[in-house]
Amino acid sequence: MPVLDTPATTATVSHWIGGKPVAGQSGRSATVWNPATGEARAQVHLASIEEVDHAVAVAKDAFTAWRATPISRRAETMFKLRELVDANRRKIAELITLEHGKTIPDAMGEVARGLENIEFACGIPQMLKGGFSEQASRGVDVYQIRQPLGVVAGITPFNFPAMVPMWMFANAIACGNSFILKPSERDPSVSLYLAELIQKAGVPDGVFTVLQGDKVAVDRLLTHEDVKAISFVGSTSVAKYIYETATQQGKRVQALGGAKNHMLIMPDADIGMAADAAVSAAYGSAGERCMAISVVLAVGAVADPFIDAVQERMAKIKVGPGLEEGNEMGPLITREHRDRVASYVANASAEGATVTVDGREDPASKKDGFFLGTSLIDNVQPGMKCYEDEIFGPVLGVVRVKNYGEALKLINDHPYGNGTAIFTRDGATARQFQFDVDCGMVGVNVPIPVPVAYYSFGGWKSSLFGDLHMYGPEGVQFYTRAKVVTSRWPDPDSSHVDLGFPQVR
């Protein structure tokens, strides 16, 4: 049955194992909500330890033939998948919106940025080329090859239910691994639709698996000896736990965590452009992006005109169900999360900040569903919870700073280091900022500097645990390991016994 036709509320969201949907047997499930109506949409099965073990066994079985499949054939599946995802952008976007809540244009953007990763994986033969050194010693050649790891797993967050899995599985599969996706239990349906497309693209059954689940499934993946690597994207506390647990088991791990992205506005910035960027980056996707701007550092006299320009733009944002055309911001993911975000606005005055616009008073916040209007908090200071914590909602804080040095220190002292941006007309200041700042991704007059797929994505400090960033060239490195071969062809004339350590001359 096509995924979109599944009736709401009575629907169940299954696993995808061995090339087909498989109903869960654990007896445990979680409710998937439609955040725009506040109604239950489906129940998602939550895997047991035995179900994880079964899925890993199926994936391991499939790996043997898949790693032996010619690289060009593996690349061909990515070309086909590219066409299938491209042809079904709207359907994927609707599935995202139904369970996540973001607007359709925003969901279409998510699909487009995910698709880039499949396009990158189409070029995998080029990425997997090794090095060759002829005559490294007399008659001896040395070369390096990269081989897949085996069964690898990806554990993904709710906020990009299609794009983040694509960050992982495109490279993992193209490199010759079997990939197990453990999607967020809050918006799990799109993963099953992607599984159908991956199968249609010609990826053999068992190479791509979807295991629905919660901590039980995750913990089993982290300790299962046949799972060789873990890619994780989610909150920092869980990322740290994943990294520590799985590395103790000898696994390769990349665990991307939360963020608190600062946007620095210099006095020479174009105020209109900076305000457009801040409003888009703070309130797009209801602030539920790891690259959302959540703090503006306004240098000197720029603060007042900037705040006026932001308020003017905020007043025009249309908040409502993501499926309704014309709306620009949808609801938050759950009622609990909405209430948690609202609590930061409620506490801000007591902390000494000034709530300039209170999203709780927006008529949108009174609608059914998990809506919260946009908030702007001025006079935010380090030490306040609304400054220190990742709020992950439509709340923008403004810290007034005297100069560039004070702003830079705030960014570099903050525990997170995912993304940041500077707005200025001065090239030298922008270049100095790029040199100075302790963050993994930097925008110069670009508020959400998510790298294109042929670079890699990742933050610094508490925003990433592990050594390799995600997708792009570092993704290929992550999902393969190097083997170096030293070879000589038989030459009886030069053969002799030599107990010394081999030398190259």
Q: Can you give the binding site for ligand NAD, defined by CB under 6 A?
A: 155-160, 164, 182, 184-185, 214-215, 218, 233-235, 238, 256-259, 290, 390, 392, 418, 459, 463
How far apart are CB 292 and ligand NAD at their closest, in Å?
8
Q: In angstroms, what CA-CA distances link 20 with 121, 156, 180, 210? A: 24, 21, 14, 10
Compute how many other C-beta atoms are within 10 angstroms of the C-beta atom of residue 26: 17
**Cβ atoms 287, 330 nearer than 8 A:** no
Specify the 3-state DSSP secondary structure of 18: coil
Tell me how far, at minimum, the Cβ of 221 lies from ligand NAD, in Å: 9
Q: Burial of 366 by CB count in 10 Å (0-12 exposed, 13-18 middle, 19+ buried)? A: exposed
Residue of 122, 175, 290, 386 marked active site: 290
Residue nearest to ligand NAD (CB): 234
In angstroms, what is the minimal distance from the CB of 251 to ligand NAD? 14
Q: Which is nearer to ligand NAD, 240 or 313 (CB)?
A: 240
CA 71-74-77 angle, to 5 degrees, is: 150
> Side chain identity at 344, as an amino acid letter?
Y
Closer residue to ligand NAD (CB): 80 or 182: 182
Q: Reply yes or no on whether 290 is catalytic.
A: yes
Using CB atoms within 10 Å of the CB of residue 210, give its burial: 0 to 12 exposed, 13 to 18 middle, 19+ buried: buried
Q: Please, what is the minimum distance in Å from the beta carbon of residue 454 to ligand NAD?
A: 17
Q: Which is nearer to ligand NAD, 164 or 198 (CB)?
A: 164
Q: Are 162 and 190 in contact (CB under 8 A)?
A: yes
Q: Which is nearer to ligand NAD, 242 or 430 (CB)?
A: 242
Q: How far is the CB of 403 from ligand NAD (least distance, A)?
A: 29
* Cβ closest to ligand NAD, residue 182 vs residue 252: 182
CB 440, CB 419: distance < 8 Å: yes
Which residues lie across from 262 on neighbouring strands?
Answer: 295, 420
Closest CA to 340 of 292, 286, 291: 286
E strands, 26-74, are 29-34, 39-45
Q: How far is the CB of 176 from ligand NAD (least distance, A)?
A: 25
Rank residues 52 and 302 by Cβ distance to ligand NAD and give the closer one: 52
Catalytic positions, please?
Answer: 290
